[in-house]
Structures are given as structure tokens and as C-alpha cells.
Structure 1
Amino acid sequence: MENKNFDVIIIGGSYAGLSAGMTLGRSLKTVLIIDSGTPCNSQTPHSHNFLTQDGRTPQEISLTAKDQVEKYETVKFHNGVVREIVKSSNGFEAETESGEKFNAKKLIIASGIKDLKPDIPGFDECWGISVLHCPYCHGYEVRNEATGILGNGEFAYEFSKMISNWTNDLTLFTNGKSSLTAEQTKKLNEHHIQINEDEIERFEHHNGKIENILFKNGSVKTIKAVYAKIPFEQRLKVSEDLGIELSESGHLKTDAFQKTNVYGIYACGDNTSMMRSVANAVAAGNLAGAMVNKELIEEKF
């Protein structure tokens, strides 16, 4: 790649990044999308709740999107991982792990997040297949099945309330002593939601499809799906070095137009929102691309 200078660098080439890239390509802006090719939903079998794409695999959607974005001549791609970003006289300089440096007037961070999975054997293999994060993405496919929630305290109570919409066969696994209040416990019992405080030994599964939860006390619970909200960290570590503010939940803080507190830097996708879905990422990327284009036009006019 000869050109090292662009109007916009997009860090992350999944749904949000590709959506922003298409918007900017259609706006005649020179764009570089830097992506490592390791999306967080790589083992998720199907994507849902996205009009025109319902039921397709994440890879199919991503490959189709990239093929369409590549048709815009001003949009280029680079396979790599960004290790450093510094402010420059003309905007920003991004350096990859291989030592290549690229410059741009604006940045869009669409690098997503890294899930920090619990040390429970079988959890990792089931994540995105039968251990789920979002009922809107996957709840319909496991409706009315024996379903579990892995969690405790306030989150577990609220999530139990939510998931009860999709099944009447629901168990909350606190994986240790419950920290629910007496009132919360009473409410869950009234709605026939079981509370299991046994410590989990492992998830028994077949090709990522959970079959049983095995507990340290020797008991077993047959289950078809488990919902879990697990901690995460920003995939792009250097975002903090730039002074980008984080929300209380750990997401990059943006305004209604996907703009961060650092002038010239926008963000979109899973790294900015608790709503982790393909549809949301595409919408956020589209908006970020349009707002960056508007800012570039206003600076030049």
C-alpha cells in the first residue's frame, strides 16, 4: 500500500466499521480500515433480528458487507492490529504491531470488546452457541426450553425478569451463595423461577450445545440454554492513552452522534453500547460515518 495518508482511519472492520466505511466511501472520502480479522462472534452459528439478514451466519454477513465496501475505490483495507495512536499536526497517526504507520484527519474506533470469560470448563466452547448474551438475538430459537441464567444480585434479578418472557422453565444459577434481597427472592419464587446456589463444576456440551450443568456437589441439571453477562475490556488498549472517556459500564462514551470527548475521534459498535447486535452496530457505524463526513466538510468549507 503506497498511500499512508487518509481522510479517515477506521480501527475495526466488522459490522460497525464496514458500515462507517461504506458511508464514507459513498461520500468520496479516502478511508483506511485496519482490522485483525478476529470478530468476537466468530463461533456464533447464526445472526438474528436484523432485517434482510435474519438467520444468516455472521461470517456470511461480514463477507458480503466487505465485498460491497471494497467496490468503493477510496476505501482501502489493511490487515493488522493497532498498537499506538498519537496526535499529529494533521490529525492522528496510527501504528500497527508490524511497525507500519498511517495518518488521518479523523479516527473512528470500531474495534469492539474482548469478553472475559469465567474459568468454568465448557463455558468458552458454548459461548455464542448455547451460552448467550442477548435474548433479542437468540431468545426466539430457545423459546420455551429449559433455560438458565448465570449471575447474582441485582443484575441476575433484572435479567431473570427479562428472560421470563421467553420461557416458563427458568433457573437462576448464582454459582455460590445468593446475594439477592429477600424481596427479590420472593418475587422470583412467585414467578416460579428457581434459584440454584450450588457451585458449578463444568458445562457438559456437544459441539457447543449445552446439555447439562455439573455441580461440585455432584448434582446435575439438564439445560438447553444459559444466559450470561460477563465482564469485558476494550479491545483497543490505546484508546485510554488518547484521553477518551469511558462510561460507568466500561464502554467508550459517545454523544448522540457517536462523537467521543476527543475532537476528531468517533466510536461505534460494541465498544460503545450494551446493545450488542449486528443491527445496532450497522446503524451506529452508518451514523458515525455520516457525522465524520459532515465534520470534514465543515472544516474545509
Structure 2
Amino acid sequence: MTNKIYDAIIIGGSYSGLAAGMALGRALKNVLIIDSGLPCNAQTPHSHNFITQDGETPQAIASKAREQVAQYKTIEFYSGLAVDASKTETGFTITIQTGETFEAKKLIFATGVRDIMPEIRGAAACWGVSMIHCPYCHGYEVRNEKTGILANGEMGFEFSKLIHNWTKELTLFTNGKSTLSEEQSSKLKSKGISMDEREIDGFEHKNGYIELVQFKDGSTVQLKAMYAKLPFKQHSDLPEKLGCKISDLGFIEVDPFQKTTIPGIYACGDNVTPMRSVANAVGAGTLTGAMLSRELIDEEF
């Protein structure tokens, strides 16, 4: 362990973590950003709905952000995976997979989430490319195209209602018997939204771009894009280990200032909200850095 005690350690060096780091760097705080290099949008070819960066690749945005954050001399970076954390008299200790440890007065978890892929051949390769989660991030690029939704029940109905804004060539794939009510099914039919209850075997794709949906009965259907809301889990179990409350939906609970339920620990990005986008992550990270620096300033005054 080094003798240095950082003002803050940020675990996760993607958009939210980097934004928090920049805010803290501009507040003259000593910060260590620990990043394992596993962003959840690693496969996504382009980022959208982020003003000044619309259509840029996620990797290019992250690289430019890191380069800019690195200009602040009080910011340090460490490439590695944080595997343990504990409370100390002065703050917190973080242990890296190598066994190295670092200390800080405060922690920020910008660790994101890990999506759990369905047992459908090709789904993992298509996720973030043509199997997508957000119409505001990706819907414009597949507007008016032949589109599917992988969902059932209430989620299937509400998702169909939303995506119908971007395309009228829309099919709800329930991947088994529909659990929609008769009223919901009739409403979708009245809007020209088809429903397909066949069980899906896999996606035929080219470099992640879906070409055909293949069903277990051997039949196929052409498709340009498939929307899905996948289950997920926290990318890191350290917040929960430290006592941070996790909501029933699986997110780290934070207040309007991004504080978790444990004093001295903040969280921001995809691990705290279903609003998953680069723009939202950056905004939340900036707020987190500002609020944490204000807490440090108050304590030191």
C-alpha cells in the first residue's frame, strides 16, 4: 500500500467516471481513477443523442475524454480491476486484483452494469449493434425499417407503443406464448403491430447486424433491428459489500446529489439509473464530482 491518501478514488474510467474526475481535477483534488477497460458499450459502433459528439464512436469519445482529463495534474490513472474494498478510520481502502491497495477519503463507483444475454444464438454478437435497448440512442438509424421487439406481457405492450413512433413495420416477438391481455393484443393489432409467438433459436447476422431471425421450427423472418430490455447485474459487487443499498430494480440507490446510503460513497452512471446513455452518464459524473468536491471543501474549511 502506498502512503498517499487520495481525496477520492473513482472506480470505473468510462464516461461517468471520467466526467467526475474532470470536475474533481478542476477543483484541485487528488484523484485516482481505476479502470478495468470493460465498458458495457464496447460493441456499439456509434454513439448518438450526445450533442457535439453525435455519430462518434464510443471509443473515440472515451479516448478524447481521458486525454483531456489527464491534463489535470492532480488526476492519476491505474489500469486494473478493483476486487475488494473496506472502510478505514480515514476513509476507504481499495484492493486491486494484483494485491496492490490504495486509500482515499471518498469513493465514487462508476462501475456500470453487466447485461445478461438471453439464450439465443447470436444475441451476444448483435447486442449494441443491431439488437438495441434505446430508441433515443439508436432508433433514428433504423427508422422506418423492419424492426422487432423481444419482450412479452406489460413490457412488450409498453415497448411496442414506444417503438411504434420510429417505425410502423413492427413485430412483437414474445418468444413463446403471449402473456399480453386481450385488450393489449387488440390495441397492437389496431395499430398494425404484428405479434409472433414462435420460439426463437437464433439470429443470423453479419458482424453483429441481424439479417434473419431463425425460429426453433426452422422458419425464418427478415429483420433489420431488434429491441430488447435485458436483465442485468451490477458490474461490481463492491458497493453492496460496503453496505450501499441496492434497489429492487438492481440499481445502487443514490440521492439527488449522487450520494449512496453509505457516507463518503458516491455512485454515477449506468449502475444507478435505467437512463443508459453517454450524455446522461457524463451529466451524472459531472454532478458527482462537483458534489463530492463540495463535501471535501466543507470538511476541510
Amino acid corresponding to residue 64 of structure 2 in structure 1:
T
Distance in 1 between the 2:244 and 2:63 partners? 31
Amino acid at match of 1:217: D
String of CA shifts for 1:91-127, please: whole Å, max 9, x gaps.
1111011101100010000000011101111111111
Aligned to 2:199: 199
Tell me the alpha carbon deviations over residues 251-276 of structure 1, each in whole angstroms, 9 at most, x when there is no partner.
11111111111000000000001000
Take 1:157 and 1:57, find their aligned partners in 2: how far apart are those partners?
Answer: 32
> Contact 1:204 / 1:212 at 8 angstroms: preserved in 2?
yes
> What is the number of equivalent residue pairs in this alignment?
301
TM-score when normalising by structure 1: 0.98
In structure 2, what is the equivalent of residue 107 of structure 1? 107
For 1:84, the aligned partner's letter is D
**Residue 3 of structure 1, CA deviation:** 6.0
Alpha-carbon deviations, 1:170-223, whole Å to 9, x = none?
000000011111111111111111110000011000111100100011211100
Q: CA deviation at 1:2?
A: 5.9
Identify the residue that residue 94 of structure 1 maps to in structure 2: 94
Q: Which segments of 5 or more consecutive residues in structure 2 lack a partner in the other structure?
A: none
**Given the alignment of the two structures, is residue 251 of structure 1 paired with residue 251 of structure 2, yes or no?**
yes
Residue identity matched to 2:137: C
**Which whole-Å CA distance do the structure 2 matches of 1:2 and 1:56 have between them?**
38
Aligned to 1:269: 269
The residue that corresponds to 2:208 in the other structure is 208
Q: Per-residue CA shift, 1:245-300, capped at 9, x if unaligned? A: 11221011111111111000000000001000000000000000000001001111
167-176 vs 246-255, which moves further? 246-255
Equivalence map 1:50-61=2 (5 Å): 50-61=50-61
Q: Deviations over 1:33-85 (max 9, x none)?
A: 00001111111100000000000000000000000000000000001111111
Partner Cα distance (2:146, 2:245) in 1: 40
Residue 229 of structure 1 corresponds to 229
Q: Which amino acid aligns with 1:250?
A: G
Letter in structure 1 aligned against 2:34:
I
Q: CA RMSD in A?
A: 1.0
Is 1:143 equivalent to 2:135 in the alignment? Answer: no
CA apart distance, 1:160: 0.6
Indicate the SS of the match to 1:8.
strand
1:153 counterpart residue number? 153
Instruction: State the Cα distance separating 1:4 from its structure 2 match.
Output: 3.8
Structure 1 residues not aligned, in runs of 5+: none
* Matched-pair contact (CA < 8 Å) for 1:4–1:101: no
Poorly superposed stretches of 4+, deviation over 2 Å: 1-4
